[in-house]
Amino acid sequence: MSQAGQAPNIIMIVSDQHRADWMGCTGASYLNTANLDRLAEGGVIFTNAYCNAPLCVPSRMSMISGRYPYRTEVWGNEHELASDVPTFAHALGLAGYETVLCGRMHFKGPDQRHGYQQRLVGDITPTYSGGPSAPYGRLKGTAAQGMLSLEHSGPGDSPVLRYDQAVTDACVDFLDTRLRSGESRSLFLTVGYYGPHPTFICPPDIYAGTSEALQGIEPISRDEEPLHPWVADWFNRLKIDQATAEDVRRVRASYAGLVQQLDRHIGRVVEAARSLPGDTIVVYVSDHGEMAGDHGMFWKQSFYEGSAAVPMIWHPLSQDTAEFQLARGRTVDVPVSLIDLAPTLVGLSGAPAMPGLDGNDLRPLLEAGASADKEAFWTERPVYCELLLGPSRMIRFKQYKLNYYSNHAAQLFDLESDPHEKRDLYPLEEYAGIRDQLLKLLLEDWNPERIKETVASKKADLQYLTQWGKQIGLGNKDLWPSNYSDY
């Protein structure tokens, strides 16, 4: 058993594309997410948590480094985080932790660790530009944004389901083996799932229930014409107008089923983690959300709440000897983001301070007995989300959200009075004060022209390395060894 005062074990579960409001504990009573609900009920849940980029690789590299995308210069899924950028895995290693990654983190390039000492299961998507992905058989292309992912939705089997099962099995086996080995170091285990990311296919037994449960529950309606120019461009680019009412119904039932399947996996991992010696904290987040039909849209890469808002739950699985006591049964409404994970993990672990962090330590909001005055700082702190399309940037400040597009007019929403983001306040003169304040904050250290130049300067190098990856490459480096070619 660990001694009093030893840093707690941390089990960090990271899903892919789970929107914040599709859990029972966040109001989706039609979903059975009993395990996530228990984590929230016995811990701290953040109701206004955001990703820092509504796209996998930029969001994850921002999260692990604690730096915004404009600083990591990771803008697309093809971009790599430089190996000389410290991550929270480096930090916890310096604090004496055994750092283990099981499953997905969507690292791109030859560095597939970025501070993790070992990896139990590789990734399901290409680990370097031009590299192979796990075989999808007849479902090839259904993980991407496009009509194919909607048309091939419904009950069945898929690489996503088998991958997440493999990740769960490996985690449970690892925790059991570690217990029997007598290992006494604090553990930092990151569990990386691919669900509920498309392919939009879920187990048949779950699909039957979610299909029935969602009857009569409609997505947020498509915006009225004329559409905002950025939204109109989105529809023109992705041709989503081809989707039928049956497509929407089937995809939503499948996505709900993937969330419930994810919840089952999380339950198994949490149960296995109960055997760890010493104190243990469970953290659950996702890299970005999923529109799931809201505003007539699917997938990610927008600043609407369905895409940009993410779940964030901190749960004290055991804290018998911990000096720092996490609260139980607390809901925190102030805006936070994934950028805050790195400084918080550093604080909980006792690791040396990381350089260049953009986020803030969440412990004042997590601590048992914390008073309301500790939230004052957070109510005055803006949170940002960035996107290469444009480039574009979102700022969330108090109840307001401003979406800045470098090639279109901005949008402004009051999420308190308009949670569905249906009334754009940006053109209204009575909101000029808050509009100008948010624009000033958003642009003071963020330069869209510089971003365009940086991305353009990388293009030729990336094309060359992609050619090498296709013709020479590194084989199946850190790729999940799926043997299935048809689903």
**CA 20, CA 30: separation in Å to the nearest integer?**
14
The model's confidence at residue 438, banded by pLDDT at 50, 70 and 90, is very high
| Angle at CA of residue 284, ends 216 and 80, nearest 5° | 105
**CA 279, CA 319: separation in Å to the nearest integer?**
5
Average pLDDT over residues 391-401: 97
The model's confidence at residue 483, banded by pLDDT at 50, 70 and 90, is low
Q: What CATH number is given to the structural domain containing 68?
A: 3.40.720.10
Please give the pLDDT value at position 240.
86
Average pLDDT over residues 66-81: 96
Burial 448-481 (b: 16+ CB within 10 A, else e): beebeeebeebeeebeebbeebeeebbebbbbbe
Burial 165-177 (b: 16+ CB within 10 A, else e): ebbbebbbebbee
Q: Residue 202: how many CA atoms within 13 Å on its side-chain side?
A: 26
**CA 310, CA 14: separation in Å to the nearest integer?**
11
Looking at every residue in the chain, the average pLDDT score rounds to: 95
Average pLDDT over residues 11-16: 98
- The proportion of the chain whose per-residue pLDDT surpasses 70, expressed as a percent, equals 97
| One-letter amino acid for residue 106 of the chain | H
Enumerate the β-bridge partners of residue 403: 394, 411
Question: What confidence tens digit (pLDDT) does each residue in 254-276 have?
Answer: 999 999 999 999 999 999 999 99
Question: What confidence tens digit (pLDDT) does each residue in 132-158 have?
Answer: 999 999 999 999 999 999 999 999 999
With 0-12 CB in 10 A as exposed, 13-18 as middle and 19+ as buried, what is 424?
A: middle
Asked whether the predicted pLDDT for residue 82 surpasses 70, the reply is yes
Please give the pLDDT value at position 2.
40
Please give the pLDDT value at position 373.
66
Q: How many domains does the chain have?
A: 1
Please give the pLDDT value at position 4.
55
**CA 10, CA 7: separation in Å to the nearest integer?**
9
**CA 110, CA 117: separation in Å to the nearest integer?**
15
Chain-centroid distance, C-alpha 94:
25
Domain hosting 206: range is 9-371
Question: What confidence tens digit (pLDDT) does each residue in 324-352 have?
Answer: 899 999 999 999 999 999 999 999 999 99
Please give the pLDDT value at position 370.
67
Please give the pLDDT value at position 150.
95
Asked whether the predicted pLDDT for residue 280 surpasses 80, the reply is yes
**CA 138, CA 410: separation in Å to the nearest integer?**
41
Asked whether the predicted pLDDT for residue 487 surpasses 60, the reply is no
Asked whether the predicted pLDDT for residue 1 surpasses 50, the reply is no
Cβ within 8 Å of residue 121, ≥6 positions away: 102, 103, 166, 167, 170, 480
Average pLDDT over residues 317-324: 88
35 domain-assigned: yes
Question: What confidence tens digit (pLDDT) does each residue in 38-64 have?
Answer: 999 999 999 999 999 999 999 999 999
Average pLDDT over residues 303-312: 98
Asked whether the predicted pLDDT for residue 374 surpasses 80, the reply is no
CA distances from residue 269 to 232, 333, 360 in whole angstroms, order as listed: 42, 27, 28
423 domain-assigned: no
332 domain-assigned: yes
**CA 6, CA 18: separation in Å to the nearest integer?**
33
Question: What confidence tens digit (pLDDT) does each residue in 158-189 have?
Answer: 999 999 999 999 999 999 999 999 898 999 99
Cβ within 8 Å of residue 32, ≥6 positions away: 24, 209, 260, 263
416 domain-assigned: no
Average pLDDT over residues 439-457: 96
Question: What confidence tens digit (pLDDT) does each residue in 116-130 have?
Answer: 999 999 999 999 999
240 domain-assigned: yes
Asked whether the predicted pLDDT for residue 86 surpasses 70, the reply is yes
User: Which tokens in the block code for residue 213?
Assistant: 């449960």
318 domain-assigned: yes
325 domain-assigned: yes
**CA 394, CA 410: separation in Å to the nearest integer?**
9
385 phi and psi, to 5 degrees?
A: -140, 135
Question: What confidence tens digit (pLDDT) does each residue in 104-116 have?
Answer: 999 999 999 999 9
157 domain-assigned: yes
